[in-house]
């Protein structure tokens, strides 16, 4: 498996979960884009500051980046990325996950990226993608699929291996194969040990 990986997908697709599992199995540092992007009170960093933080977080040869922020990071991360794992799960899967995750975070007052707390009720404002992650996911899906599909055949990104997973079963199978491959060398070494 590659050593420079970005996990992308819509909200609720499992980017952070998959990124953390890949980082753990492959023993790679994990970079969460939202943690670099949001300041306390959900204030967003400037593009310049955000891009600089991404450059510093990915300056080594080993990392897993979880998140999209496509227009801000594409030219920072992708020139060095070896693999893009695209979690292209359908809205019927991701939207309920976003609602449930938001509800759970709001009820438990889980701290996100240091000091931020989830707000559940704005998720119901589907008509306002600035306030609702659900609304944003619905409105941006077609644009994101178009961008990713075009990127897969763009000569600028010919050095990248794209892995498009379209169901949770495919995601589970992919993670299982990565874990099995990571275990194989250790098992082989144990078999040949004196």
Cα 188 vs. chain centroid, distance in angstroms? 32
pLDDT, tens digit (0-9, with 9 covering 90-100), for 82-93: 999 999 999 999
pLDDT, tens digit (0-9, with 9 covering 90-100), for 18-71: 999 999 999 999 999 999 998 888 888 999 999 999 999 999 999 999 998 877
Is 79 a residue whose pLDDT tops 70? yes
Please state, in angstroms and rounded to a whole number, the distance separating the CA atoms of residues 122 and 107: 14
Please state, in angstroms and rounded to a whole number, the distance separating the CA atoms of residues 103 and 98: 8
Is 76 a residue whose pLDDT tops 90? yes
Structure tokens at 94: 């991701």
Report whether 15 contacts 7 (CB < 8 A).
Answer: yes
Q: How confident is the model at residue 106 (pLDDT cuts 50, 70, 90)?
A: confident
Is 105 a residue whose pLDDT tops 90? no
Is 125 a residue whose pLDDT tops 70? no
Over the Cα atoms of the chain, what is R_g?
Answer: 18
Would the pTM of this model clear 0.75, i.e. be above it? Answer: yes
- Domains, the chain, in order of start with CATH, read 4-90+141-182 (3.40.50.300)
| CA dihedral sign, ordered 98, 19, 184, 194 | negative
């Amino acid at each position: 498996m590659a050593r420079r990986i970005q996990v992308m997908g819509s909200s609720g697709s499992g980017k952070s979960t998959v990124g953390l599992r890949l980082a753990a199995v492959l023993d790679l540092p994990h970079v969460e884009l939202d943690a670099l992007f949001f300041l306390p009170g959900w204030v967003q960093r400037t593009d310049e500051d955000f891009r600089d933080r991404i450059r510093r977080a990915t300056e080594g040869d080993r990392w897993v980046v979880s998140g999209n922020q496509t227009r801000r990071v594409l030219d920072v991360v992708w020139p060095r990325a070896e693999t893009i794992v695209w979690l292209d799960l359908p809205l019927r899967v991701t939207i309920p996950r976003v609602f449930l995750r938001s509800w759970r975070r709001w009820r438990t007052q889980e701290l996100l990226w240091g000091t931020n707390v989830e707000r559940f009720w704005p998720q119901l404002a589907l008509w306002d993608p600035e306030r609702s992650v659900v609304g944003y996911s619905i409105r941006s899906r077609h644009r994101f699929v178009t961008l990713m599909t075009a990127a897969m055949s763009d000569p600028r990104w010919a050095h990248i291996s794209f892995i498009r997973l379209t169901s949770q079963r495919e995601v589970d199978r992919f993670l299982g194969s990565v874990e099995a491959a990571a275990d194989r060398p250790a098992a082989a070494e144990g078999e040949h040990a004196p």
